[in-house]
Amino acid sequence: MLKEVQLFLLPDQVNDEVLIKNKLQKKLRLSTSKFFYKWKKRSIDARQKNIKINATFWVASNSKDIPSLVGFMPKKIDAKKSIIIIGMGPAGIFAALRALELGIKPIIYERGKDVRSRRRDLAKINKEGIVNPESNYCFGEGGAGTYSDGKLYTRSKKRGDVQRILELFVHFGADEDILVNAHPHIGTNKLPKIIQAMRECIIENGGEVHFDSKLIDISHVNGEISEIVINQKKIPCKSLILATGHSARDIFYLLDNKGISLESKPFALGVRVEHPQSLIDKIQYHGRLNDKFLPPASYSLVCQINGKGVFSFCMCPGGIIAPCATDKEEVVTNGWSPSKRDNPYSNSGIVISVLPSDCKGNIEDPFIGLNFQKSIENKSWILGGKNQCVPAQRLKDFMEDKLSLDFPVTSYQPGLKSVRMDDVFPEFVTNSLRKAFLAFDKKMKGYITNDAVLHAPESRTSSPIKIPRDREFLHHPDLKGLYPCAEGAGYAGGIVSAAIDGIKVMDAVLLN
Ligand SMILES: Cc1cc2nc3c(=O)[nH]c(=O)nc-3n(C[C@H](O)[C@H](O)[C@H](O)COP(=O)(O)OP(=O)(O)OC[C@H]3O[C@@H](n4cnc5c(N)ncnc54)[C@H](O)[C@@H]3O)c2cc1C
């Protein structure tokens, strides 16, 4: 017998196993306490003052009936079959793991360094404002997700098997809680070890991983890929999974130069706002502060302004704002948090949808959105003082169009420069942001406060360019053997959906 049972618990009851077992026995009207149970799902319902935990359990009379994890089962590699994967972000890694499950040898080329060596370059950005264009918050082993909050929530359930991705994360060392929590996250302190375990598994099972190895050229003959150049080395190649992420602008330029078609696509851009975490807890938990049974509160906000979506993006409770530029003359923000989310700050992107038609230039130009994104990042770098200091304005001052005279302590390490957001962004962005903040303040009373600071820009939410691919076979329509994959190609947004796309593309390679 396996049953799914739902209970409503109070936050302080979540770890009380005796109480939970009693409640399950009562609910199922069981005469015996000899049964087994396991958490299936858990979510917090904080809509009312009386905060509840929605809990779902598996209950069975035999422990063998309780679903257990499906591990990772690689096949013996067929020496004649291999696949080249460019980029070792979530998409590249999960494509490689899938290749091993299919008995195909994955060969990964990654421009950045391994997770450990990468840390030194992150310290340089934070402490000295020096950006290494090959190794930074976006480039290197594990990709852009390695030093992130590690949120694993995705709305794109239709895209594939989310549970399988979560189970693989657990197999490689993530806490089993990620299978249960409605909004799972791993944390920056834990992700690098998991990524390292995945790499070791790829190598142990016959795959290859090459760091400091950048794709710089692609040759093709008669509509088929023939050769690639990694650093200066020519490598024959028939099939290539291109999983280089949305920050690899040189890849877009390379494809364009080679006559391989690209398309512009909508993306989103705005600011990263930081509040004291205690304020967000107070608002979301109805004044309840420092409740040890509740996690640091998060939020998800969305509204429509003049027919355009304005929404919170990648909210990090207890987080830190990070300098995420990938080139020297730009400033880009994003956020991360450790597994405990125990920093005193909360940050979130607040972004507005940008259509190619919102940007200046030729609407037919696939680079129209990218040029706009780049211009904002470069302007922010100039206004910030040509280092990694970020243009900043208190939220209240932004609403009143006043330059900020000072700032509270914020988490952004390289430093803040007082700048009007209206000097960073065009009017259509700042107008929409102001209206959206008013709407958000109605949903979360106290959101507009002098203690909140806007950091600009939040510009790498999704790719402004799409690399087209055949719907069925997933290769580029101009070039057989070139498989555009995940976020950089416009088919994913976030760690889980990128991982799902990596698996999907690898499956397509096998079929073609
Ligand atoms: C600070 C931060 C926090 C984030 N937080 C979250 C979060 O909590 N949850 C979430 O879901 N998402 C988060 N994201 C977004 C998430 O990281 C991305 O959506 C995801 O990593 C995209 O995966 P990908 O594999 O498509 O590309 P990427 O992760 O961008 O990986 C691409 C890889 O390709 C490599 N590469 C690029 N060009 C070349 C080349 N020419 N040759 C060889 N290699 C190349 C890069 O070095 C990189 O390692 C965050 C991002 C950042 C920067």
3-state secondary structure 291-345: CCCCCCCCCCCEEEECCEEEEEEEEECCCEEEECCCCCCCCCEEEECCCCCCCCE
Q: Which of 93, 109, 138 to mutate to test the pocket of ligand 1 (most atoms within 8 A of CB)?
A: 138
Instruction: Please tell me if the CB atom of residue 242 comes closer than 6 angstroms to any atom of ligand 1.
Output: no
- Counting every residue written for the chain, the total comes to 512
Task: Give, as one character, the DSSP assignment of residue 150.
Answer: -
Residue 131: helix, strand or coil by DSSP? coil
> In terms of pLDDT, which residue wins out, 357 or 70?
357
Give the atom of ligand 1 at the shortest distance from the alpha carbon of 487.
26
Kindly state the tokens that stand for 195: 């990524």
Q: What's the gap in Å between 144 CA and the centre of ligand 1?
A: 3
Average pLDDT value over all residues in the chain: 95
Instruction: Please tell me if the CB atom of residue 336 comes closer than 6 angstroms to any atom of ligand 1.
Output: yes
Euclidean distance between CA atoms 308 and 433, whole angstroms: 11
Comparing 139-153, 362-376, 406-420, which segment has the lowest mean pLDDT? Answer: 139-153
Reported as a pLDDT band with limits 50, 70 and 90, residue 151 is confident
Give the atom of ligand 1 at the shortest distance from the alpha carbon of 109.
43
Instruction: Please tell me if the CB atom of residue 59 comes closer than 6 angstroms to any atom of ligand 1.
Output: no
Token match 């080395």: residue? 233
Q: Is the CB of residue 146 less than 8 Å from the CB of residue 192?
A: yes
Q: What is the mean pLDDT of residues 18-35?
A: 95
Q: Is the CB of residue 332 less than 8 Å from the CB of residue 391?
A: no
Residue 201 reports pLDDT greater than 70: yes
Please give the pLDDT value at position 112. 98
Reported as a pLDDT band with limits 50, 70 and 90, residue 184 is very high
The values of phi and psi at residue 276, to 5°, are -65, 135
Give the atom of ligand 1 at the shortest distance from the alpha carbon of 154.
11
Q: What's the gap in Å between 244 CA and the centre of ligand 1?
A: 8
Residue 75 reports pLDDT greater than 80: yes
Q: Is the CB of residue 440 less than 8 Å from the CB of residue 303?
A: yes
Q: Which amino acid is at 171?
A: H
Residue 242 reports pLDDT greater than 90: yes
Please give the pLDDT value at position 145. 83
Q: Which residue, judged by its Cα, is nearest atom 37 of ligand 1?
A: 244
Residue 157 reports pLDDT greater than 80: no
Instruction: Please tell me if the CB atom of residue 209 comes closer than 6 angstroms to any atom of ligand 1.
Output: no
The percent of residues in the chain predicted with pLDDT above 70, rounded, is 99
Please give the pLDDT value at position 72. 95
Q: Is the CB of residue 129 less than 8 Å from the CB of residue 388?
A: yes
Strand ranges of the sheet holding 215-221, from the earlier edge strand across to the other edge: 215-221, 224-230, 233-236
Q: What's the gap in Å between 97 CA and the centre of ligand 1?
A: 17
Q: What's the gap in Å between 426 CA and the centre of ligand 1?
A: 27
Q: Which residue, judged by its Cα, is nearest atom 41 of ligand 1?
A: 215
Please give the pLDDT value at position 23. 97
Instruction: Please tell me if the CB atom of residue 112 comes closer than 6 angstroms to any atom of ligand 1.
Output: yes
Q: What is the mean pLDDT of residues 134-147?
A: 95
Q: What's the gap in Å between 351 CA and the centre of ligand 1?
A: 19
Q: Which residue, judged by its Cα, is nearest atom 19 of ligand 1?
A: 494
Residues of the chain with CATH 3.30.70: 2-65
Q: What is the mean pLDDT of residues 394-423?
A: 97
Strands 390-394 and 416-418 come out as: parallel
Q: Which of 94, 113, 126, 148 to mutate to test the pocket of ligand 1 (most atoms within 8 A of CB)?
A: 148
Residue 48: helix, strand or coil by DSSP? coil
> In terms of pLDDT, which residue wins out, 234 or 68?
234
pLDDT, tens digit, 9 for 90 and up, residues 456-492: 999 999 999 999 999 999 999 989 999 999 999 999 9
The CATH number for 82-262+467-511, chosen from 3.30.450.40, 3.50.50.60, 3.30.465.10, 2.40.440.10, is: 3.50.50.60
Residue 70 reports pLDDT greater than 90: no
Q: Which amino acid is at 61?
A: S
Residue 149 reports pLDDT greater than 90: no
Kindly state the tokens that stand for 242: 């291109």
Please give the pLDDT value at position 512. 80
What b-and-e string marks burial along 156-187, b requiring 16 or more CB atoms within 10 Å of the CB? eeeebebeebbbbbbbbebbeebbbbeebbbb
Instruction: Please tell me if the CB atom of residue 211 comes closer than 6 angstroms to any atom of ligand 1.
Output: no
Euclidean distance between CA atoms 414 and 402, whole angstroms: 23
Report the candidate in 213, 225, 254 with the shortest Cα–Cα distance to residue 88.
213
Instruction: Please tell me if the CB atom of residue 249 comes closer than 6 angstroms to any atom of ligand 1.
Output: no
Residue 290 reports pLDDT greater than 90: no
Please give the pLDDT value at position 153. 80
Class of domain 2-65 (CATH, top level): alpha beta
Instruction: Please tell me if the CB atom of residue 252 comes closer than 6 angstroms to any atom of ligand 1.
Output: no
Q: In a 10 Å sphere around its CB, with 0-12 CB exposed, 13-18 middle and 19+ buried, how is residue 73 labelled?
A: exposed
Report the candidate in 135, 77, 127, 72 with the shortest Cα–Cα distance to residue 105.
77
pLDDT, tens digit, 9 for 90 and up, residues 487-511: 999 999 999 999 999 999 999 999 8
Please give the pLDDT value at position 156. 64
Euclidean distance between CA atoms 487 and 485, whole angstroms: 7
Instruction: Please tell me if the CB atom of residue 341 comes closer than 6 angstroms to any atom of ligand 1.
Output: no
Peptide bond into 457 cis (omega under 30): yes
Strand ranges of the sheet holding 453-458, from the earlier edge strand across to the other edge: 302-305, 308-316, 345-354, 267-276, 453-458, 390-394, 416-418
Q: Is the CB of residue 269 less than 8 Å from the CB of residue 428?
A: no
Please give the pLDDT value at position 289. 79
Residues of the chain with CATH 3.50.50.60: 82-262+467-511
Q: What's the gap in Å between 247 CA and the centre of ligand 1?
A: 8
Strands 105-109 and 82-86 come out as: parallel
Give the atom of ligand 1 at the shortest distance from the alpha carbon of 148.
3
DSSP string, 250-278: HHHHHHHHTT---EE--EEEEEEEEEEHH
Q: Which amino acid is at 352?
A: I
